[in-house]
Structure 1
Amino acid sequence: MKLSTQILLAFSLIILLSVADSYTNYMLSKKVQRNSQFLARSEEIIRNSNKTHRTIIEMQSAFRGYLLTNDRTFLHSYFIGMKMVPVLLKEQQERIGTHNIQRSILDSIVVLHNNWLDYSEEIIESQKLEPENYQNLFNNSLKKYVGKKINDDIADRFSRFNKIEYIRRKHHTDMLLNSLSYARNFSLLFLSMTVTVGILSIVFIMYITNKRINSMIRLAENISKGNFTIVQDIRKDELSPLTTSLNTMSAKLAKNIHELKSRNAELNKFAYVVSHDLKAPIRGIHNVVSWIEEDYDKELSPELKRYLNIIPQKTRRMEALINGLLDYARLNIKAPSEKINTNTLVREITDSIVTRNISLEIDDLPYLYTERIKLEQVFANLISNAVKYTPQEGGKIKISCRIFTDFYEFSVKDNGIGIASEYHQKIFEIFQTLREQNEPQSTGVGLAIVKKIIDDQQESISVKSALGKGAQFIFTWRNN
């Protein structure tokens, strides 16, 4: 499965969980809204019920006050109630609707209230206009507590009405609290699931990706070290072409390196054979010249002797060039690293190269863990070069080292003839020398060997010099 598909599936799952969370919260919010609206309406119903009952009680109190005092000012609340109660009862009917037990209770309250109004109005009119009829009503109604029974029934019905409303209100309050609790729990659940899925998806994709990338990095590192392995890849995703390319590159490099090693071996063999074959005729030429000088010394003219003296010089230079080529060819040989005391190494070289007439100064040099032969060749060629171009009388050579965080910087400095600036790069090319071509000591191979070793080690070398002011060769070397 491709990485893009895996990422798409992970995001799809997260989006699905988010949609489920949103839908669940939406449905629960609708329940919360319905229950909240019911509770608000219930609050209005309870408030209206209490207000209506209170108004009826005030009418009853005003009626009793009038009967006791025969003072019509007491009937002020009575007449106000006659206007308010029907309005309040009608509003209550609209709120509670029809076809429920509360509506039947409310209808019975309306009937009882109307009965009480008929009863109270009859007594009020009788007391005002017909005292004799009032006495009969007093004996038949008031003494028998007709009004009181009606008022008690009204109070009882209001109590039942409110009780039912409080029960319904408690039910919807519980539903509201449950909806809020469910909303909170479901939100927490979906949030936890979303975060978990997101984290697991990220961790899984990162693990798979990092694992494969690390395998490719290890392959690249192995290739850089000359170990041309391949990566087994059974997944078919966006990284597969990169793995295939690296495996192909590793296989091609392995093939090329194998062919290059074979050719190098052939070239080294050819170099040894050629050098051996070249040295034989050179030695033969030298011997022939010696024999001619020995056998015909008295018969040779001065000019012919001068010509014969040139031949050994040329043959010695040819032999030196051949030896230099052999040394240059041997640079491909890999040797194991070892711990080297650079002080000891440099002093062994200077003891065999530097003459007593030259002043030598060697600073405290560090220990290195590296290939001895290569470091030895660098110092040997640089010191030999300094000896060649330094005067035997008053000559000075100084070898020093500066320590940095990741590498060492060595310096070989002399007070010799110096090098003009235009030759600072040219001197590192093979067979390039500042001396006359007929001088056997200068083959132009030594500094080329140094440059090749430095380049192979991925180090750097530079020269500071001016004509007649000596030369300073500076090169870096890492401690493996």
Structure 2
Amino acid sequence: MKLSTQILLAFSLIILLSVADSYTNYRLSLKVQRNSQFLSKSEAVIRNSNKTHRAVLEMQSAVRGFLLTSDTAFLRPYYSGLKNVPRYLKEQHALIDNNKIQRRILDSVSILHKEWLTYTAELISARKENPKLYQSLLDGKLRKHVGKNINDSISVKFKRFDKLEYKTRKHHSEMLLHSLAKTRTYSLIFLSLTVIAGICSTAYIIVMITNRIKSMVNLADWISKGRFTIVRDTKKDELSALSYSLNIMSGKLKKNIHELENKNEELNKFAYVVSHDLKAPLRGIYNVISWIEEDLSDEVSPALRRYLNIIPQRTQRMEALINGLLDYARTNRKTAPEEVDTNSLIQEITQSIVPRNFTLKIQKLPKIFTERLKLEQVFFNLISNAVKYASPEKGFIEIGCLQNNHIFEFYVQDNGIGIDPQYHNKIFEIFQTLREKNEIESTGVGLAIVKKILDDRGETISITSHLGEGTVFSFTWRNNKRI
């Protein structure tokens, strides 16, 4: 599966969980909204029920007061109720929606209230205009508790109505609390699932990508160190193409390095063979010149002798150049690293090549784990170069080292003729020398050998010099392991 597909699936899972959470919360919020609306309306129903019942009771009290005192002032709440109670009942019908039981109760209340109004209207009229009729009604209906029975029935109806409303209200309150609890629970569940899915998918992708990239980085590091291995990648995604390319590059580099090593070995053999074959004619020429000088010394003219003296110089320079080429070719040889006491190494080199009349100053030098032969070649050529160009009368050479972690920066300083800055780069090219071509000891190979060794190791070399001010060669050298 492609990496982009895996990432897309992970994000899709998180999005689906978020959508499910949102949908569930939306459905639960609708229930919460419906229950909240019902409870809000229920409060209005209960207030209206209490208001209606209170108005009916006030009308009943007003009628009783009038019947007892014949004072029409008591009838004000009665007449007010005649207007308000029907309106209250109509409002209550609108508030209870389609609750059939409560509607039947309200209809019963309306019927009973109308019966009571008919009954009280007859009593009020008789009380005002016809005492005999009032007395008859009093004896016939009032004493039989007709009005009281109607009022009691109305009160019972209102109590039943309120009881039903409170029961329904309690149910919706419980549903509201249940919906809120479910909302919190589902939100917590979906949030947890989303977080877990996000963390797991992110961790999986990060670990997978990190490990595979790490293996590729290790492969690149191994390639840089000459270990041409491959990465085993069974995945089939975008990173697989990179692994495949690195494996191909590693294989090709391994093949090319092997071919180069074979070519270098052939070139080294060729160099040794050629040097041997070249040295033989040179020795022959040198011997012939010696024989001429010995056998024909009396017959040789001064001009011819001058020419004969030039030939050995040229042959000796040619032999020095051939030896320099051999030394340059040997820089490709690898030796096992070992612990090297650079202080002892410098002492051995300087004792063999530095004249006794030179002032030699050697700072405290470290012990390092490295290829002794390569380091020895570098120091030998730099110190030889310092000896060649130092002042013959008051020669001075200083060798020291600065350390930065496991990287050492060595320097070789002399008080020689110095080097013009325009030649600072040119002197590291093979056969480039600042001395005359007929001087045997200067072949222009030494600094080229130094540069080649340092470049092969990935080290650097720098030069600080001006004409007449001496020269300082500084080069870095890494410790193969920390001691």
Distance 1:323 1:58 in 2: 136
1:261-307 per-residue CA deviation (whole Å, 9 max, x = no partner) reads 11000000111111112222222222333333334434444433333
- SS of equivalent residue, structure 1 residue 222: helix
Aligned pairs for 1:290-439 within 5 A: 290-405=290-405, 407-439=407-439
Partner of 2:139: 139
CA root-mean-square deviation: 1.7
CA gap of 1:147–1:366, structure 2 versus 1, over 3 A, is same
Distance 1:36 1:432 in 2: 98
Deviation at 1:464, TM superposition (A): 1.9
Deviation at 1:69, TM superposition (A): 2.1
Partner of 1:282: 282
Normalised to the residue count of structure 2, the TM-score between the two structures is 0.95
Match status 1:201 vs 2:201: yes
Distance 1:99 1:169 in 2: 13
Normalised to the residue count of structure 1, the TM-score between the two structures is 0.96
Deviation at 1:408, TM superposition (A): 2.5
Deviation at 1:187, TM superposition (A): 1.7
Distance 1:212 1:401 in 2: 41
Amino acid aligned to 1:376: E
Distance 1:25 1:297 in 2: 120
Partner of 1:228: 228
Partner of 2:259: 259
Aligned pairs for 1:432-471 within 5 A: 432-471=432-471
Deviation at 1:99, TM superposition (A): 6.6
Distance 1:96 1:470 in 2: 112
Moved more, 64-73 or 401-410: 401-410
1:89-143 per-residue CA deviation (whole Å, 9 max, x = no partner) reads 1111222245711111111111111121122222221121111222222222232
Distance 1:54 1:440 in 2: 135
- SS of equivalent residue, structure 2 residue 238: coil
- SS of equivalent residue, structure 2 residue 368: strand
Deviation at 1:340, TM superposition (A): 1.9
Partner of 1:189: 189
Distance 2:345 2:389 in 1: 22
Distance 1:214 1:404 in 2: 28
Partner of 1:478: 478
CA gap of 1:469–1:94, structure 2 versus 1, over 3 A, is closer
Partner of 1:48: 48
1:429-475 per-residue CA deviation (whole Å, 9 max, x = no partner) reads 11111222122111111111111112112222122222222222122
Deviation at 1:193, TM superposition (A): 1.5
CA gap of 1:343–1:97, structure 2 versus 1, over 3 A, is closer
CA gap of 1:384–1:98, structure 2 versus 1, over 3 A, is closer
> Which structure 2 segments of 5+ residues have no match?
none
Distance 1:65 1:443 in 2: 144
Distance 1:464 1:259 in 2: 39
Deviation at 1:406, TM superposition (A): 5.7
Moved more, 68-77 or 308-317: 308-317
Partner of 1:85: 85
Distance 1:226 1:476 in 2: 21
CA gap of 1:230–1:29, structure 2 versus 1, over 3 A, is same
Aligned pairs for 1:90-129 within 5 A: 90-97=90-97, 100-129=100-129
Amino acid aligned to 2:276: H
Amino acid aligned to 1:369: F
Amino acid aligned to 1:17: L
- SS of equivalent residue, structure 1 residue 74: helix
Partner of 1:9: 9
Amino acid aligned to 2:26: Y
Distance 2:418 2:14 in 1: 75
1:222-279 per-residue CA deviation (whole Å, 9 max, x = no partner) reads 1111111122222221122212211111111111111101100000011111111222
Amino acid aligned to 1:286: Y
CA gap of 1:475–1:74, structure 2 versus 1, over 3 A, is same
Query: Percent identity over the alignment?
Result: 64
Amino acid aligned to 1:195: V
The number of aligned residues is: 480
Distance 1:218 1:17 in 2: 39
- SS of equivalent residue, structure 2 residue 331: helix
Amino acid aligned to 2:70: N
Moved more, 427-436 or 160-169: 427-436
CA gap of 1:97–1:451, structure 2 versus 1, over 3 A, is closer
Moved more, 15-24 or 165-174: 15-24
Distance 1:417 1:314 in 2: 25
CA gap of 1:188–1:434, structure 2 versus 1, over 3 A, is same
1:172-226 per-residue CA deviation (whole Å, 9 max, x = no partner) reads 1111111222222112212221222222221222222222212211211111111
Deviation at 1:156, TM superposition (A): 0.9
Partner of 1:176: 176
Amino acid aligned to 2:216: M
Distance 2:346 2:97 in 1: 113
Distance 2:64 2:173 in 1: 41
Distance 1:226 1:185 in 2: 60
- SS of equivalent residue, structure 1 residue 439: coil
- SS of equivalent residue, structure 1 residue 472: strand
Amino acid aligned to 2:313: Q
Amino acid aligned to 2:178: N
CA gap of 1:158–1:474, structure 2 versus 1, over 3 A, is same
